[in-house]
Amino acid sequence: MPADPVAFARDLLRCPSVTPVEGGALSYLADRLKGAGFAVERVTFSEAGTDDVENLYARIGTGGPNLVFAGHTDVVAPGDEARWTHGPFAGDIDDGVLFGRGAVDMKGAIACQLAAALDYLAANSGRPKGSISFLITGDEESIAVNGTVKLLQWAAERGEVFDHCILGEPSNHDDLGDMIKIGRRGSLNGTLIVEGKQGHVAYPNLADNPVRRIVAIMSAMMAEPLDSGSAHFDPSNLEFTSVDVGNKTVNVIPAEARARFNIRFNDVRSRDALKAEVEARAHAGAGGGRYRIDWEPSNADAFVTTPGPFVELVSDGVAEVTGRRPKLSTTGGTSDARAATPIFIVGLPRSGTTLAERILASHSTLRSAGELDCFALSLVDAVRRLTGRAQMPRRELVANSAAVDFAALGRDYMDRACLASGGSGRFIDKMPLNYLYCGLIRRALPDTKIVHLTRHPMAVCYAMYKTLFKDGYPFSYDLDEIARYFIAYRRLMAHWRSAVPGAVYDLSYEALVADQLGETRKLLQFCGLDWQDSCAQFHLNPTASTTASAVQIRRPIYESSVAQWRRYEKRLSGLRERLEAAGVEI
């Protein structure tokens, strides 16, 4: 009886294998492969500041050629499960359609690989003509440092040789079997940084405007095509995605200008050769002025499997089964889908939100959009559209917010945020009071990251009390009001943790001060970012800040503010009593 790929896929979908959790998926594969005679090894990889991740390698046969099926069983978090018509890990089949997180990417493909291998072995008395291997990781959907790359290195050190590989990545454009990816463009990210000299626009002779030079360098970098393409690739392409001078004052010449760019490149040049070409163009455009290019680490090289007998064999098989000849393609991206998701930093004012923002904004793939009121405005407009009323009591607005079109709310927020921040690419929204909407944010933007800053109750209440805020926070000028506000805030955050578990990452200000590198690594991992030394040197980031922490963020992390409230402990005794009476531990 032939193996049933639908049953395999259904069983795999029922494994809640959200990165880095194995969730039973690798165990399921191991059991079935062992039953068919495969030698199976489970390998766990580790790296400082990241979660341990388990991987699987299985092989049957000792000779060549060795065909390897590759893929991953981990999936991204499903978000609000109440929004799924079928549970993300239920593996339901409804009207001939299989539903579940990972059905397409890529548990469905792995199920087909497994069924094909078992059917082949059954037809050949359990002995392959050569070898069949499975190389399956549990670390692809997050930062992917303990997955495929390390598993391949591990296999190579053991003398494993792969002759051909079929990857389970979804590649069809319109119909099943209409496209085979035989390669992928490479991807390089960089930041062009031009240094100048700040000055007043009335005295340009005393300043050095970096905007003029960055425009010239950008023009030089884009002036000519990087190449004309190759037999299997379109021409390489360089695109600038944001330009920032960190300057909100119209009559001041900025001291620095930055522009971020991405290059999608083909197999004409190596990464190093491409960098050299771009650097040469920038040098010519700079005219002797000061600049540098910070290149992000990347292992996303261009590669191609030159069409030959194996590609023909696969194409013939697809045509025989589907009736259509697949197109051979190298189009597509390298994890493009995750690039635009915003990161929200929330919490009480003076809780460390600006520090966290500065750390993240020092990563070359992120930019800070500042403290945006876009989500609150989008939510109010969504409720107005739902009810047809322009005004309503606040309680009614809150009650009606649960019934809005959350997908439309997410789109409206993104449109407003990109317009308000004047840029593109992944950004940070550091409006502290967005903590009010954590659950709604998660429903509107299921893949977003929410970082919640926590701080010792007395420390954060005192810090708010002693600060004269430019705008907002009227509760912060009276200790009784601060106590009531803190208690309500604490209850709401407890509600969000219960209602949307795992959606909010709590980052302790005190823990960050005590272990900057360790907590920064955890923060980057949660946000799906690789480590960059610049995040540990956030105080060197020259971009402007308009918050109450604008001075502090120019210094390395210091401890003097952690227990500053204790100097005034007696005068703050009433505040402490009110908090403790509400069950707040001090």
Tell me which residue of 171, 181, 178 sits closest to 323, measured CA to CA.
178
Domain with 266, as residue range(s), is: 184-295
**Average pLDDT by stretches of 10, the chain with 586 residues:** 95 94 96 97 87 94 94 87 90 95 94 97 95 94 79 91 88 85 85 93 94 96 93 91 82 92 89 92 95 78 83 93 91 49 92 93 85 93 90 91 88 80 75 95 87 95 87 86 95 92 91 92 86 81 51 59 84 93 91
> Could you tell me if 28 and 127 are in contact, meaning their C-beta atoms sit under 8 angstroms apart?
no
Sheet holding 66-72, edge to edge: 39-45, 53-60, 131-137, 66-72, 164-167
> Could you tell me if 479 and 457 are in contact, meaning their C-beta atoms sit under 8 angstroms apart?
no
The structure tokens 């939510």 sit at 379
Residue 322 inside a domain? The answer is: no
The pLDDT value given to residue 332: 66
The structure tokens 């969000």 sit at 496
The pLDDT value given to residue 219: 97
Do 142 and 239 sit in the same domain of this protein?
Answer: no
| Residue after which a domain boundary falls, among 295, 323, 350 | 295
Strand positions, DSSP E, 146-206: 164-167, 179-181, 183-184, 186-195, 199-200
| Residue after which a domain boundary falls, among 131, 146, 170 | 170
Residue 158 inside a domain? The answer is: yes
Residue 586 inside a domain? The answer is: no
| Residue after which a domain boundary falls, among 170, 197, 230 | 170
Residue 41 inside a domain? The answer is: yes
Do 440 and 364 sit in the same domain of this protein?
Answer: yes
pTM of the model: 0.53
Residue 320 inside a domain? The answer is: no
State the CATH number of the domain containing residue 61.
3.40.630.10
Do 152 and 14 sit in the same domain of this protein?
Answer: yes
The pLDDT value given to residue 364: 79
Do 270 and 162 sit in the same domain of this protein?
Answer: no
Known catalytic residues?
Answer: 74, 140
Residue 123 buriedness (CB in 10 A; 0-12 / 13-18 / 19+): exposed
> Could you tell me if 239 and 186 are in contact, meaning their C-beta atoms sit under 8 angstroms apart?
no
Do 436 and 483 sit in the same domain of this protein?
Answer: yes
The pLDDT value given to residue 543: 60
The pLDDT value given to residue 555: 60
Do 110 and 150 sit in the same domain of this protein?
Answer: yes
Q: Could you tell me how many helices (H) and strands (E) the chain has, helices first?
A: 17, 22
Total domains, the chain: 3
Calpha distance 30→399 (Å, rounded)? 49
Do 51 and 140 sit in the same domain of this protein?
Answer: yes
Do 567 and 437 sit in the same domain of this protein?
Answer: yes
Tell me which residue of 240, 189, 194 sits closest to 214, measured CA to CA.
194
Residue 540 inside a domain? The answer is: yes
Do 149 and 194 sit in the same domain of this protein?
Answer: no
Residue 400 inside a domain? The answer is: no
Residue 356 inside a domain? The answer is: yes
State the CATH number of the domain containing residue 218.
3.30.70.360
Give me 210's structure tokens: 């970096």
Do 516 and 573 sit in the same domain of this protein?
Answer: yes
Do 563 and 441 sit in the same domain of this protein?
Answer: yes
State the CATH number of the domain containing residue 495.
3.40.50.300
Tell me which residue of 459, 324, 318, 433 sits closest to 374, measured CA to CA.
433
Calpha distance 259→424 (Å, rounded)? 11
Do 166 and 266 sit in the same domain of this protein?
Answer: no
